[in-house]
Each structure stands twice: as structure tokens, then as C-alpha cells.
């Protein structure tokens, strides 16, 4: 069952009922100012950091779900309604929400009044625009009242929902004409404030939540709107400041009026904070608001946003006979890659924006799907991430986006983390050819006095694995590897202890076969970077270490039919036939195979066949089987989840593409594509009533076979699935992969996929690539021509300065 449809021409998903199974959200903002916005206009806004600089308040665990947002109430006689249906939930005569690329739109109507709302964040301002247009479609004059509503957050979102003894006394606002200034804590150590303004005269305002809602009311029935009909002009002193505008509107039959609301973030230099004693310097707000005074201003800013995205989405486009693939590749998958790049795992409807910042491993993986879009931002991100690394090569697991400093509350000692830095950097250098980044001086733990080149950081990443091996010569796992919940050194016995921080961060015995797979893959990429810098001795040393690891995996990481997952602190196997539960895991099988381990020995094929046999289900490939049914002290959080959920036998979408990529490595296009389809939003759209999360983006986890409702999705948007799936489909299945020497075209497609074309912008040139598959093979390039010339192999030689490459690849 569907709750809407894709409008590919407009790059929109059109939601046709407000009653979606879960709130279906979108992200507004490209750089520093962001909003989360749901199909019923719930959500919140922040500047740079969802924890530290939150503009508007969200109410977690609210009932009903998703009840705080940027709302408009329309009062038409006795009827009060919202264009997004919530929070009054007045039945609408028509409703439509269009989530687009960086914007959302609503078209709704009630009693012959039509409301359309356009919400977006301009590309170069720190504000969100909400343009609302009301039209009278009746044959008589309408006298309407429009009320806006946002509830301010007292900046630090964590403190905001805990420290009431202070917070109820600090709130402060100013109101000048149609602009409401939120200036809580500005009197002391903050030099920023927020504004909510409208481009018209207002007929009233409120800034005290209690005055607007009334005691024992909530925002579904504000007293001012439903009973009094007029704002009270309240000025908040403490308690909960809000921003409400009242505009009285008369509309003749057929007449429309529109209003531009702007929610903005402003900063002043320390010595220019005040206009006069206690009065905020409003110059930055006035300058910002002056830019959005008319509908034409809004049109201009909106056109700029569209152009920004059209440009980005022209970098990689495919035309194939498969509409669903075209839609995901050309629009939604890349859009989600941008969002995960911006948010990491910080702010979604499942990530509170308070708990987690930028993940070291997460952000490095996010880069893989983003680097082609805006390489300069990827470059900056790599330096930021590397700056939080420790001198021994290990790293803080996360850092705070505002301060760019490692967050010690979340811990460190996840032994896969260092290697992801090689993955991210290698992707950047392959994309851009810019080796200068490797020579940048980068601090450790933000301490510039111990800075080294980025290449030296990568060396320490590499050597961290070399220097931290266990009894079998496999990498020690530390607190965990990619699987945050495989906590083999933790041994937590008391509720409430964080599995990721409790216990020793190191253990001399527990080992990870998954990290071994990573080491083989990224060790080779490290060697290639060393070669690029002319350091052949280092490349040779690295390759020797990689070979040692390869052999070790085949010796002690192979279980007969698949790769072992790990060894626990007693050196017992995990993910082996010997185990009662958790006999086979996806991570080591997917990653070791995609890294090429056991390919020539025929073992990768065997491992992938075992994955299909034991882990496959209708909705994807499960992370492990059989599910753990009891808590194991020696395994940690993985066994804390009920069977079928999350890391305990859920379908963790993130590692499905690893298996799919591994299938392309051994040339099985049918199976690679079958796996791709299972978690692909354009395919799961059909089962939205089971899947529940947004049908235009990936979610982190889908419940596995052991769960109560298999196929139910959770934790949408912020997941490494976005980047990995984009790599899978664009670089492995469609097969356009950036190498240091130039673009490689080596597709691996399912039977019947047919011919296709790809346009790829790469290092300043445009590549028009035509792939022909006359014999309907799954893999193999028979011939390639570049600008009419035959070329051996499948790498298009990169020629400095050449602007256009017309490429014909014939599979066979
Ligand atoms: C979450 C984390 C990611 C981790 C995964 C598996 O998605 O963000 O870092 O790899 O869970 O535990
Ligand atoms: C929990 C989740 C895991 C996530 C981790 C982040 O362990 O199960 O998916 O990566 O928290 O700290």
C-alpha cells in the first residue's frame, strides 16, 4: 500500500494523506542552517549543531507523535485548521505534501479556502522561509485570521529539556513591528539571537506560550485562536517564549494573498552586541530580512536553490530502462547522501540531535557517497575528522560539529575507526586527483603542536591495525568494530551501563575478522596513496602487511563455508558452525569478499552462497542467524536486542550493499541486483504499510525474520546505507568507478537490464558513457572506445585539460 507517489519530473515525493504510518520528513538547508520538517509540518531548526544551537523546540516522546513544529493556524469563522493538518487535526477537504530536494510544499484546502505553503532554506542565508498563500475559492468574501506559531528552544537542546529550575527564569524577547526577537542568554555569554518575522503589518502577537495556549491547553487548541480570537500582546519573561503573529485577512471571491515568514539566526561581534543598554543590535537581522520582503524575492531565492541542486545532480546521471533505478540514482539516493554528509548521525526523528554528533567511522563512510558532489567540502571534512585522531592512530568515536572536538562522553577505542579515514581520503583523492591534501598539516586531538601531514595520519591508521593484533594475528576489536554492539571486552552486568563506554577499551584477546577485511581493502588503497607520493618502499611494506593479513584470514578466519565473524575474549569463535546461535554474520562475509579475500580460491563465492542460504529473507539480508535468544555477557549489546531487531538479526541496511558489491566482484549481476532491490526505497514503496518509514530514503534497520513484524523499517535517513548503496549502484552495478588513473567503466548488471547511458562529471570534464550489452551478459567489457579510439582495458585514460569524453563500452 502506498501513501503517495513519486513525481520524478519535479524530483518530488507527493504524500497524499497526512496520516502516514510514521512522520515522513524532509531536510531543509545545505550548509549551516537546517530544519527537519515532517509531512504535517512538525520538526525543528538549528544552526550548525542540533544540540548546542537549537532555534526551536521539539518535544520528544510526544503523544501524538510529532506535535511541535512551525505551524500556521487559519481561523475561518468557527473553523480552525492547519495546512499540514497537525496540530488541530481538523479534517481537510484536500491535502498534499510535496517533499522536494531541499524544500517542502503543501497544498491544502478547507471550506473553499486554499492554502499553499512553500518552506525552504536559501543557499546563502541562515534562515528558513515559509511562504504561505491563501486563496478564497468561494463566491463570498472571507474574513480570515492567520496565526503563526513557533516555540523557541533555549539554545542548548539538552539543557532545555532538563534544567527547568533555571530555564523558567531566563527567557527574553523583544518585539519590533512584525519581528519577534528571541534573545535568551544574549545578556551574558551568547552573541546570537533568533528572529521570526513576516513581510506584512500584523494585527497582534504573543511571545508567552502560556498566554497564547492558555492553561491546560496545548497547541492543538490554543485559547487565543479558538476562544479569544485575538492575540494578547504578551512579552515573555522566563517560562516558555514562543513567536506568534496574528494577521487579519479579507479575501474577495477568487482573491489570493501571500505572506513571507522568515525564521532566522543572527550573530553580532562581541563589541557590537547592543544598540543601547539591554537592546539587541538588530543590524544583521534587518539586513537578512530585507532580502525576503516580496514574493519575487522568494522566487529568486528558490530558483537559486533549484539551480544549486540541478547542478549537483547533474554530476552523475543514468538513463536506463529501469525507472526505479533512474529515480534512486539521479535523485533520492544522492540527496540522502548530502543529508547524511551534513548530519552524520546527529539529528533525525530517531537521532535526537542531543546524543550523537559526527561519527568518525560514520562521517568517513558518508564521504564515499558525497565526495563527487562537492569535493571541497569533503576535503574540509576529512581534515576535521583527522584532527580528532589520537597520536597512536586510534580516534574519538565522535566529535561535536560546532566545536569540531572529540566527544569523550561517547568514548574511543573502536578499532575499525582508524581504517575508515583511509577509505574517506582515498575516495577523495581518486575523485579529484588532489594529492596536496596528503601533505596538509593536521593536528592530533586538535593539538596543533603535534601536527603531522595527513599522510602520516593515514600511516598511523594503518599501523594501528598492524600494532594491535591478537592471538591469531587478526586485528584486536577494542570496544567494537563496525558493529557497535559486538562488545567483546565490555562484560556489562548492570542496567544502564553504556555498552560503548563501559569496561576496558582494550582487550588482548578478542579479534575481528571484519577489521581484517577492511585492512586488506583499505591497506591496498593506502599503498596506492603512498605510491602516488612516490614512496614505493612504504607501498611495498603496506602490501606485505596486507598479504600477511590475507593469509591469516584464510587460515583462522575461514570456517569451512563462510568467514568467521570474530573471536571473543576467551578466543572462542563468533559466527561459526561451532556456535549455537549467531553461526553466520553478514559483515565479515560481505567485507572480506568485497576486499577480494578468497576470490581466487573460490571461497568468496562459497561465502556469498552461504549468505544467501542462511541470511536472506524477503526484505533484505539479515545481519546474523540464528538470532541470539538470551543475553551473553561476553558478547555485549548485540544480544541485548530481542531477536530480529537491530544488530541482533535485523536487516541492517548498511551492510546489504557490501554483499551486493561482493557479488559484483565475483561477477554475479543477477544476485547483486536482487540484493539491491530488496532494501531499495523505490521498490519498498509498494509495502509502505509494512515498511512504515519514508519511501524515498533508506532506513538503518528493517526488522528481520525473527521479529514480530518482519519488514518493518526504523531509523530512517541517517545511515551509512545511503553512501554505500550509492557506491554499490553507481560504481559497481552500473560500474563507473573513479581510480587514480581515471574513470573505470566495468558494469555488473542483471540479465535483461539492457543498454544504458551515464553522464559523469569528473575532474573538470564531462563523460558521456554509453554501455551496450548485445549478448546480455552480467559482467565483462569486450571493448571500449573513447572519442572514437579503441582503448585497452576499461579505464578511460585521464587527459589533463580535456573537457569531453565520449565513451562507448560494449559488454561481452
Ligand atoms: C549505527 C552506527 C554505526 C554502526 C552501526 C552498526 O548505524 O551509526 O556507526 O556501524 O550502527 O552498529
Ligand atoms: C546502539 C545501536 C547502534 C548504534 C549505537 C550508537 O548500540 O544499536 O546501532 O550504532 O547505539 O552508539
User: Quick check: CB of 479 below 6 Å from ligand 1?
Assistant: no
- Rounded distance from Cα 482 to ligand 1 centre (Å): 6
What sign results for the dihedral spanned by CA atoms 75, 80, 85, 87?
positive
CA distance 574 to 610: 16
Measuring CA to CA, which residue among 334, 335, 457, 483 is closest to residue 384?
457
**E strand or H helix at 743, and its extent?**
strand 742-745
At 348 the pLDDT is 96
Nearest atom (ligand 2) to Cα of 410 = 12
309 CB neighbour count, 10 Å cutoff: 21
At 505 the pLDDT is 79
- Rounded distance from Cα 215 to ligand 1 centre (Å): 43
- Rounded distance from Cα 145 to ligand 2 centre (Å): 46
Q: What share of the chain is helix, strand, coil (3-state, %, to 5)?
A: 30, 30, 40
Bridge pairing between strands 54-56 and 142-155 = antiparallel
CA distance 701 to 679: 10
N- to C-terminal Cα separation, the chain? 40
User: Quick check: CB of 99 below 6 Å from ligand 1?
Assistant: no
C-alpha triplet 458, 460, 461: angle, nearest 5°: 60
Nearest atom (ligand 2) to Cα of 647 = 8
**E strand or H helix at 665, and its extent?**
helix 656-665
Backbone torsions φ then ψ of 383, nearest 5 degrees: -65, -45
C-alpha cell at 425: 581520503
Please, are residues 230 and 204 in contact by the beta-carbon 8 Å criterion? Answer: yes
Q: Which of 352, 362, 649 to mutate for ligand 1's pocket (most ligand atoms within 8 Å of CB)? A: 362
The protein residue whose alpha carbon is closest to atom 4 in ligand 2 is: 484
At 699 the pLDDT is 97
26 CB neighbour count, 10 Å cutoff: 28
The protein residue whose alpha carbon is closest to atom 5 in ligand 2 is: 484
Render pLDDT for 660-705 as a digit per residue (tens, 0 to 9). 999 999 999 999 999 999 999 999 999 999 999 999 999 999 999 9
Residue partners of 47: CB distance under 8 A and separation at least 6:
32, 33, 34, 53, 55, 126, 192, 265
The protein residue whose alpha carbon is closest to atom 3 in ligand 2 is: 484
Render pLDDT for 723-780 as a digit per residue (tens, 0 to 9). 999 999 999 999 999 999 999 999 999 999 999 999 999 999 999 999 999 999 999 9
Q: Which residues line the pocket of ligand 2, CB cutoff 6 A?
A: 484-485, 500, 637, 646-647
What sign results for the dihedral spanned by CA atoms 153, 158, 159, 162?
positive
Q: Which residues have a catalytic role annotated?
A: 484
- Rounded distance from Cα 759 to ligand 1 centre (Å): 33
User: How far, in whole angstroms, is CA 456 from its chain's centroid?
Assistant: 29
C-alpha cell at 692: 512504515
User: Quick check: CB of 700 below 6 Å from ligand 1?
Assistant: yes
CA distance 44 to 349: 10
Phi-psi region of 193 (alpha: psi -120 to 50; beta: other; left: phi over 0): beta
CA distance 55 to 35: 10
User: Quick check: CB of 483 below 6 Å from ligand 1?
Assistant: yes
At 354 the pLDDT is 92
The β-bridge partners of 115 are 108, 134
Nearest atom (ligand 1) to Cα of 362 = 9
At 790 the pLDDT is 98
The protein residue whose alpha carbon is closest to atom 6 in ligand 1 is: 483
- Rounded distance from Cα 496 to ligand 2 centre (Å): 14
3-state secondary structure of 206: strand
Measuring CA to CA, which residue among 181, 195, 36 is closest to residue 126?
195
- Rounded distance from Cα 638 to ligand 2 centre (Å): 9
At 268 the pLDDT is 98
Mean of per-residue pLDDT scores for the chain? 97
Backbone torsions φ then ψ of 84, nearest 5 degrees: -100, 10
**E strand segments, 401-512:** 441-444, 447-453, 511-512
User: Quick check: CB of 398 below 6 Å from ligand 1?
Assistant: no
At 503 the pLDDT is 83
Bridge pairing between strands 566-567 and 103-110 = unpaired
Give the residue ranges of the chain where pLDDT is below 70. none
Ligand nearest to the CA of 344: 1
**E strand segments, 86-237:** 97-99, 103-110, 113-120, 127-136, 142-155, 173-176, 179-182, 192-198, 204-208
143 CB neighbour count, 10 Å cutoff: 12
At 408 the pLDDT is 81
Amino acid at each position: 500500500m502506498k501513501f503517495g507517489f513519486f513525481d520524478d519530473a519535479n524530483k518530488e515525493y507527493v504524500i497524499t494523506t497526512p496520516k502516514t504510518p510514521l512522520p515522513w520528513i524532509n531536510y531543509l538547508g545545505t550548509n549551516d542552517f537546517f530544519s527537519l520538517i515532517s509531512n504535517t509540518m512538525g520538526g525543528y531548526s538549528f544552526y550548525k549543531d542540533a544540540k548546542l544551537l537549537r532555534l526551536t523546540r521539539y518535544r520528544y516522546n510526544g503523544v501524538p507523535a510529532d506535535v511541535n513544529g512551525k505551524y500556521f493556524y487559519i481561523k475561518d469563522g468557527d473553523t480552525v485548521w492547519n495546512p499540514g493538518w497537525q496540530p488541530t487535526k481538523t479534517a481537510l477537504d484536500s491535502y498534499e505534501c510535496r517533499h522536494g530536494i531541499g524544500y517542502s510544499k503543501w497544498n491544502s484546502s478547507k471550506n473553499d479556502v486554499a492554502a499553499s505553503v512553500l518552506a525552504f532554506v536559501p543557499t546563502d542565508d541562515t534562515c528558513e522561509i515559509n511562504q504561505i498563500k491563501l486563496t478564497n475559492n468561494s463566491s463570498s468574501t472571507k474574513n480570515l485570521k492567520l496565526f503563526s506559531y513557533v516555540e523557541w528552544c533555549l539554545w542548548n537542546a539538552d539543557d532545555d529539556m532538563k534544567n527547568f529550575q533555571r530555564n523558567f527564569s531566563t527567557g527574553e524577547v523583544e518585539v519590533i513591528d512584525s519581528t519577534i526577537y528571541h534573545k535568551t542568554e544574549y545578556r551574558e555569554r551568547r552573541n546570537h539571537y533568533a528572529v521570526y518575522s513576516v513581510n506584512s503589518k500584523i494585527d497582534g502577537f504573543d511571545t508567552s506560550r502560556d498566554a497564547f495556549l492558555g492553561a491546560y491547553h496545548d497547541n492543538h487548541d490554543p485559547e487565543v485562536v479558538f476562544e479569544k480570537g485575538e492575540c494578547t500582546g504578551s512579552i515573555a519573561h522566563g517560562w516558555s517564549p514562543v513567536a506568534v503573529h496574528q494577521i487579519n485577512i479579507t479575501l474577495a471571491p477568487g482573491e489570493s494573498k501571500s505572506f513571507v515568514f522568515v525564521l532566522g539566526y543572527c550573530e553580532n561581534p562581541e563589541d557590537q552586541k547592543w544598540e543601547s543598554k539591554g537592546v539587541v543590535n538588530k543590524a544583521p537581522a534587518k539586513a537578512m530580512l530585507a532580502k525576503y520582503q516580496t514574493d519575487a524575492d522568494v522566487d529568486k531565492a528558490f530558483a537559486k536553490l533549484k539551480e544549486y541542486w540541478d547542478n549537483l545532480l547533474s554530476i552523475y546521471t543514468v538513463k536506463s530502462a529501469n525507472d526505479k533505478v533512474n529515480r534512486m540514482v539521479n535523485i533520492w539516493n544522492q540527496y540522502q547522501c548530502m543529508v547524511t554528509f551534513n548530519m552524520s548521525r546527529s539529528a533525525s526523528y530517531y537521532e535526537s540531535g542531543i546524543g550523537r554528533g559526527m561519527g568518525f567511522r560514520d562521517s568517513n563512510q558518508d564521504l564515499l557517497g558525497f565526495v563527487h558532489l562537492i569535493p571541497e567540502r569533503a576535503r574540509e571534512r576529512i581534515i576535521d575528522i583527522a584532527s580528532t585522531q589520537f597520536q597512536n592512530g586510534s580516534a574519538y568515536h565522535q566529535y561535536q560539529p560546532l566545536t569540531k572536538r572529540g566527544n569523550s562522553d561517547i568514548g574511543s577505542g573502536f578499532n575499525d575507526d582508524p581504517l575508515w579515514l583511509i577509505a574517506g581520503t582515498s575516495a577523495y583523492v581518486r575523485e579529484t586527483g588532489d594529492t596536496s591534501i596528503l601533505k596538509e598539516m593536521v593536528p592530533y586531538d586538535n593539538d596543533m603542536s603535534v601536527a603531522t601531514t595527513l599522510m602520516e595520519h593515514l600511516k598511523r591508521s594503518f599501523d594501528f591495525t598492524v600494532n594491535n593484533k591478537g592471538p591469531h594475528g587478526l586485528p584486536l576489536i577494542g570496544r567494537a568494530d563496525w558493529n557497535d554492539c559486538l562488545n567483546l571486552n565490555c562484560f556489562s552486568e548492570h542496567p544502564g551501563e553504556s555498552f560503548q563506554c563501559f569496561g576496558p577499551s582494550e582487550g588482548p584477546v578478542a579479534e575481528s575478522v571484519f577489521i581484517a577485511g577492511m585492512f586488506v581493502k583499505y591497506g591496498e588503497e593506502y599503498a596506492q596513496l603512498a605510491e602516488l607520493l612516490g614512496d614505493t618502499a612504504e607501498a611495498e611494506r603496506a602490501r606485505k602487511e596486507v598479504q600477511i593479513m590475507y593469509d591469516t584470514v584464510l587460515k583462522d578466519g575461514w570456517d569451512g563455508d563462510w568467514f568467521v565473524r570474530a573471536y571473543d575474549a576467551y578466543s572462542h569463535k563468533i559466527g561459526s558452525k561451532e556456535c549455537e546461535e549467531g553461526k553466520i554474520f553478514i559483515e565479515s562475509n560481505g567485507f572480506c569478499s568485497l576486499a577480494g579475500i578468497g576470490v581466487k580460491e573460490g571461497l568468496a563465492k562459497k561465502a556469498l552462497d552461504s549468505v544467501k542460504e542462511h541470511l536472506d529473507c524477503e526484505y533484505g539480508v539479515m545481519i546474523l542467524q540464528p538470532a541470539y535468544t538470551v543475553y551473553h555477557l561476553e558478547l555485549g549489546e548485540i544480544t541485548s536486542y530481542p531477536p530480529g531487531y537491530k544488530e541482533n538479526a535485523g536487516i541492517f541496511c548498511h551492510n546489504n550493499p557490501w554483499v551486493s558489491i561482493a557479488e559484483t566482484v565475483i561477477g554475479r549481476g543477477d544476485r547483486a541486483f536482487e540484493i539491491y532491490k530488496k532494501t531499495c526505497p523505490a521498490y519498498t514503496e509498494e509495502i509502505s504499510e509494512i515498511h512504515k518509514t519514508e519511501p524515498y530514503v533508506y532506513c538503518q534497520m528493517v526488522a528481520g525474520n525473527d521479529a514480530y513484524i518482519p519488514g518493518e523499517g526504523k531509523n530512517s535517513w541517517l545511515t551509512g546505507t545511503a553512501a554505500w548503496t550509492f557506491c554499490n549502484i553507481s560504481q559497481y552495478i552500473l560500474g563507473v568507478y573513479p581510480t587514480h588513473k581515471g574513470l573505470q567503466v566495468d558494469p555488473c548488471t542483471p540479465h535483461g537490464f539492457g543498454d544504458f547511458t551515464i553522464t559523469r562529471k569528473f575532474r573538470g570534464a564531462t563523460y558521456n558513457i554509453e554501455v551496450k550489452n548485445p549478448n546480455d551478459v552480467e559482467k565483462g567489457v569486450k571493448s571500449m572506445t573513447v572519442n572514437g579510439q579503441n582503448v585497452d582495458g576499461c579505464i578511460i585514460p585521464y587527459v589533463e585539460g580535456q573537457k569531453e569524453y565520449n565513451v562507448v563500452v560494449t559488454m561481452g
